[in-house]
């Protein structure tokens, strides 16, 4: 039986929005507070999809068990909250993609591991809150990606079955979560993919080089 796609679900950081400039600013601000040199943007960008903990690991070469880890992570988030959308913008092509999804009579939503206290104001600033069929943050459900729970919650909120959904992300956990939930998955190759990542081995249903490729993929596979 052919299942018509009805809902397009997006990861936030590195898929829907280019948040790396503001997160890089926050990490470098914490480094400078600790009298450490700032890191080049090119080193920080690939770590952004993995959240604040990954940024602290990168900047300070310490692990979560370290006594300084949590205070540094919280400080990074505090600075980031104050600069949430200074330089953040939707990736080129995303505004047009969202409009075309809506024009097709479909809906779309966001599933991110970012906590709601950052996700919701950011989507407000980007003018997307009222348009999204669902916004699922890292603390909306009991478990986060790569667990399928947030994916299933998003399907329910958007009024679609898993077979009617496609999830787009730029990290292996995104594809794993979508696959475990039973939905189609696409890798956003324009996102925060590190040099050592192997997206072709993640088992997604497709790869997209630009947001517009989502429509082409849907036309050929949906």
- Considering the candidates 11, 170, 174, 213, report the single residue annotated as catalytic: 11
- Considering the candidates 13, 18, 22, 170, report the single residue annotated as catalytic: 13
Beta carbons within 8 Å of 121's beta carbon, 6+ residues apart:
81, 84
Taking CB atoms within 8 Å and a gap of at least 24, the contacts of 190-193 are 190/91, 191/11, 191/14, 191/15, 191/49, 192/13, 192/14, 192/20, 192/45, 192/46, 192/47, 192/48, 192/49, 193/46
Residue 111 three-state SS: strand
Residue 28 three-state SS: helix
13 has catalytic annotation:
yes
66 has catalytic annotation:
no
Cα separation, 110 vs 165, whole angstroms: 12
| Catalytically active residues, by annotation | 11, 13
């Amino acid at each position: 039986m052919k299942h018509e796609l009805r809902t397009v679900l997006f990861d936030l950081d590195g898929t829907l929005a280019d948040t790396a400039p503001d997160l890089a600013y926050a990490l470098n601000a914490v480094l400078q507070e600790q009298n450490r040199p700032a890191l080049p943007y090119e080193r920080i960008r690939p770590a952004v999809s993995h959240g604040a903990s990954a940024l602290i690991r990168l900047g300070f070469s310490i692990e979560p068990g370290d006594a300084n880890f949590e205070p540094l992570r919280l400080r990074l988030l505090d600075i980031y909250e104050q600069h949430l959308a200074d330089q953040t913008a939707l990736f080129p092509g995303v505004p047009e993609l969202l409009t075309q999804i809506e024009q097709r009579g479909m809906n779309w939503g966001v599933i991110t591991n970012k906590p709601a206290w950052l996700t919701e104001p950011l989507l407000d600033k980007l003018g997307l809150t009222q348009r999204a069929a669902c916004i699922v943050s890292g603390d909306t459900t009991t478990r986060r990606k790569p667990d399928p729970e947030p994916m299933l919650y998003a399907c329910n909120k958007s009024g679609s079955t898993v077979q009617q959904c496609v999830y787009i992300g730029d990290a292996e956990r995104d594809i794993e979560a979508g696959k475990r939930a039973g939905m189609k998955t696409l890798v956003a190759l324009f996102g925060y993919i590190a040099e050592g990542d192997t997206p072709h081995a993640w088992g997604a249903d497709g790869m997209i080089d630009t947001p517009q490729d989502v429509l082409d993929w849907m036309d050929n596979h949906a």
